[in-house]
Structure 1
Amino acid sequence: MKTALLFPPQWYPSQPYLALPTLKAHLESRGHEVDQFDLNIECYDIFLSREYLERCVEIIRRRHADPSRSIEDQEVRSIYNDILSDSAFLESVLNEVEDAKNVLRDENRFFQFDIYSKAYTNLKIAMQLISYAHHPSRVDLDSFFMQGNPEENLSGILSATEDKIRNPFLLMFDEYLTPKIPWDDYGVVGVSIIHIGQVIPGLTLVRQLRQRYPHLHIVIGGSVFNRHADLLDDKQELFKQFFHSLIVSEGEQPLDQLLCHLKENKPLKTVPNLIYLEGDQVIRNPKSEALPYDQLVCPTFDQLPLEKYLMPYPVLPYMSSRGCYWGKCTFCTHSFIYDSHYRKENEARVAEELDHLSKKYKTKYFTFSDEAISPNAFNRMSAEILKRGVDMRALGMLKFESSEKESPELFDDIYRAGFLMLFFGLESANDRILSIIDKGCDQETERAVLRHSSEAGIWNHLYLFFGFPTEERSEAEDTIQFTIENSEVESGIIHSVGQSIFALEKDSAIYHNPAKFKIDRIIQDPERDMAIVFDYEINTGMPREEVMDVYENFNSVIEKHFPSRQIWNYLSREHFLLYLDHYGKEEILNMASTGVAP
């Protein structure tokens, strides 16, 4: 009995996601026959084609001509007029979309920024055209959104997965992707859903498969439904119409056991971490402890169409640890799927696997997917990479610890090992906010560590947010001032920034103990019982409108103090990694400051 592992749209088109390669490698080591399909990149390849865009134009034409227009169609009538009346512009979009894809795959044109930025803009315009064909839904180069967030309740899911007007994936799967796979060859289909933007596309796919191929056992995994596991008792329709079972937490051992049980026609009650329907009752099997790292195997990217990703070279994801070694940040839920269980790989084996993957797939580019790599692990890993002579260029995530642990010598070794870019969760530069977030650091530490990293030659990217519960305007200003003082045009130890607004997520420490953070009430809307992000009421700190004002004004701060934004704002992190390797940090900064783009 063969198994097909699927990664559905809509996610980034620049590299494979790590879940399928990891599961395939483990299952094959256990004797199972497994194929993997990245339907996300296959979908992009079709979306970004003249033939598909022509179909979208015809959809727009029909919706525009329909005398019984819906309210949504009336809202975009003027835009439909503009699209259909400007035939020259429309023809340029149709003519240039294929070449725009190829620019991002061409190592010569990719590094000519004026050509790259034009191609990227053309791809964004193409995605907008697709979005207008399915208005009011929005399809972008990283996600998919439907009006009303139908993924947040069962009735919305049932409706959205049959909505031929607003859901482009019905046509995509029906006519383009599903016919490509010989489903009769498989007995089990596993689908990984790791992002909200994949919920409706992924469930659209499995609903079609469930209807057309009743012999398949469909199992869902990934972080989204892992967080829904506690509210499935009255969601029997999900098991009846979409999937047969659901695996929570890490999937290697449970999926191996599920395949064995199905092959031997055994009852499912002893498969760990499994949720399934028995009669009309949702059954939750007990969890087992996740496998230790020495029982996991190196991921395999075989069968994935590496040439189709929008990159001139393969950029492979890799993990040297699971969970977060810190695990205390009160807003964070990243370790939830790992049951907050941190463990890491032996650093010598990390270097061995990186060397193997680099040679097998002919690339030196890696993105580390670890929640955060500890300073000690980074130290040992860098030493092993250097000792083995692995030719690698990579990016990774590091937490602020202390200027002693994160010393200049550590960053020198990290840089020499091939890490060109590090991501730091700054969150805030106000010591009180850092304390209630439980970041385990202060502003002085943040500044010292960033200086050490920058002086080693590493590009520092910061994540920060505004509006943490109880945050006052003056405290947000501390973060803004810290960013300015250390920006590209000042001390130069911060090179790029990504800002957001605080979101209260299910399963975070704040969610479970709102009173501790002065939250008066978390709004539990019965019409959004599958929501992951929640609204809340609070009378302390900045009101929502003021938070939005701070956030929007911060954009002008970035534009003024980070000239290189004109470059990195266009580039995904994987693309920017390649630019850093090609040009170097100083050259990118120089070109941006002089107004001469690479």
Structure 2
Amino acid sequence: IESLDDDQINIYRDVYDMLIRPVMEHDRPQMVGISVVQQKQLIPTFTFCKMIKDAFPETHITLGGNIITRIRDMLPGMENLWELFDSAIVYEGESAYLKLTEAVKKGDDFSALPNLIYKDGKGVHINKEVFAESLAELPPPDFDGLPLEKYFVPQLILPYLATRGCYWGRCTFCDHFQGYVEGFRTKQVDHIVEEIRFLKEKYGTRFFHFTDESYPPALFQKLSRHLIDDKLDIAWTTHMRFEESLLEEQVWKDVAESGCKYLHFGYESGNQRVLKLMDKATKLDAIETNLRMSSEAGIWNHLMGFFGFPGETSEEADDSKAFVEKNSAYIHSLGFMTFVLGKYSPIAFEPEKYGLTYYKNPEW
């Protein structure tokens, strides 16, 4: 908390003065929403919250995003943080945010609003109503009002989400699924193509990042064929699992022809035993085949992995490096990290199964 007022170290105070304060002074908004999708965004988020509250105490500040959802059980007890904001939207936020905005505007009561944690003069309240969006009823994303020309990219790239949740949803290290209250859902492929065409025409760009947790292989193939048949002429990227259902060369040729330029693959490990512990259900030979076919089709392959999964030996970690070296002709970039225990991951619920012991830092 002390860092929020530190002008010497906290660079986000300067960011606020340069970018946010002028907008606040000009627009005087009744409500401000901040989405937190990564842990590293917490310091800038609370810095902005404090500086907004100091200058505009009547402005309602609400937080949202996957990280806020994943700390929802701890949030009500963080009394010092509630001095910085007024409410938090958990799980999916489209309808919940709209209803909160209307309530703030009208001065209505918050107690019946969905997906909401809020503070009033009586304390912090956790609303019981939980709401999940119907993907068939949601409109296409709206980027109006955003300074799209200021993003550090040579061409505008729009994000697009066709699914909610992860179709696999079994990786023992992952707790991203906590961002949703219902299981995996997807839009129909015709609906997806229609919205992409709409966004392409409205915003004058052919570049799209499909930001799904992991693109389902069946939808991956169907969408590629539809993009080709409809001559949409876009360039796109998305996130993928390695799949044994994607071992035909024609699949990858279609994907490339449809405009796919770059794929983020969840590689995780090059050791079969470790992959089994992770419940990836991925075979190393299928990984090699996917990489080769994708690369030969002209797609850039980016691998994401990590070291230090509970039980992984140093020799097994070396297998991950050896696999990358062996297949380097088909791997174009890498992103490796070390294992981080997610609070709601399957591992966290069964630590003894993975030989884990929790350590409570006495300084926290």
Scaled by the length of structure 1, the TM-score of the pair is 0.58
* Aligned match of 1:347: 189
* Aligned match of 2:261: 420
Aligned counterparts of 2:14 and 2:261: Cα–Cα separation in 1: 41
Aligned counterparts of 2:286 and 2:128: Cα–Cα separation in 1: 43
* Aligned match of 2:293: 452
Aligned residue among 8, 12, 23 for 1:180: 23
Aligned residue among 294, 298, 306 for 2:148: 306
Deviations 1:352-376 (A, max 9, x none): 2222222222221111111110110
Aligned counterparts of 1:245 and 1:440: Cα–Cα separation in 2: 40
User: Greater relative contact order: 1 or 2 (C-alpha under 8 angstroms, separation 6 or more)?
Assistant: 1
Q: Which runs of 5+ in 2 are unaligned?
A: none
Q: Return the letter of the residue paired with 1:217.
A: H
- Deviation, 1:418, is 0.4
* Aligned match of 1:220: 63
Aligned residue among 181, 192, 196 for 2:39: 196
SS in 2 for 1:469: coil
How does 1:307-456 map onto structure 2 within 5 Å?
307-339=149-181, 341-402=183-244, 404-456=245-297
Aligned counterparts of 2:332 and 2:29: Cα–Cα separation in 1: 49
Q: Which runs of 5+ in 1 are unaligned?
A: 1-156, 529-598
Aligned residue among 293, 303, 315 for 1:462: 303
The structure with the larger Rg is 1
* Aligned match of 1:524: 360
Does residue 258 (structure 1) correspond to residue 100 (structure 2)? The answer is yes
Aligned counterparts of 1:328 and 1:461: Cα–Cα separation in 2: 22
Aligned residue among 116, 131, 135 for 1:289: 131
SS in 1 for 2:111: helix
- Deviation, 1:175, is 5.4
How does 1:413-562 map onto structure 2 within 5 Å?
413-488=254-329, 493-519=330-356, 521-525=357-361, 527-528=363-364
- Deviation, 1:342, is 1.5
Q: Return the letter of the residue paired with 2:42.
A: V
Aligned counterparts of 1:336 and 1:456: Cα–Cα separation in 2: 35
| Aligned partners of 1:504 and 1:511 also within 8 Å | yes
Aligned residue among 168, 171, 189 for 2:11: 168
Does residue 275 (structure 1) correspond to residue 121 (structure 2)? The answer is no
- Deviation, 1:477, is 2.5
Aligned counterparts of 1:188 and 1:296: Cα–Cα separation in 2: 23
CA RMSD between the two structures = 1.9
* Aligned match of 1:22: none
Aligned counterparts of 1:410 and 1:249: Cα–Cα separation in 2: 34
| Aligned partners of 1:462 and 1:497 also within 8 Å | yes
Aligned counterparts of 2:23 and 2:74: Cα–Cα separation in 1: 35
Aligned counterparts of 2:129 and 2:175: Cα–Cα separation in 1: 19
| Aligned partners of 1:429 and 1:442 also within 8 Å | no
Q: Return the letter of the residue paired with 1:208.
A: M
Q: Return the letter of the residue paired with 2:339.
A: F
> What is the count of residue pairs matched by the alignment?
364
SS in 2 for 1:293: coil
How does 1:103-118 map onto structure 2 within 5 Å?
none
Q: Return the letter of the residue paired with 1:242.
A: L
SS in 2 for 1:460: strand
Does residue 231 (structure 1) correspond to residue 74 (structure 2)? The answer is yes
Aligned counterparts of 2:317 and 2:19: Cα–Cα separation in 1: 49
Aligned counterparts of 2:204 and 2:120: Cα–Cα separation in 1: 47
- CA distance 1:185–1:278, shift in 2 (3 Å): closer
Instruction: Report sequence identity in percent.
Output: 36
Q: Return the letter of the residue paired with 2:215.
A: I
- Deviation, 1:473, is 2.2
Deviations 1:79-136 (A, max 9, x none): xxxxxxxxxxxxxxxxxxxxxxxxxxxxxxxxxxxxxxxxxxxxxxxxxxxxxxxxxx
Deviations 1:274-298 (A, max 9, x none): 1112435321112423111012111
Structure showing the higher helix proportion among its residues: 1
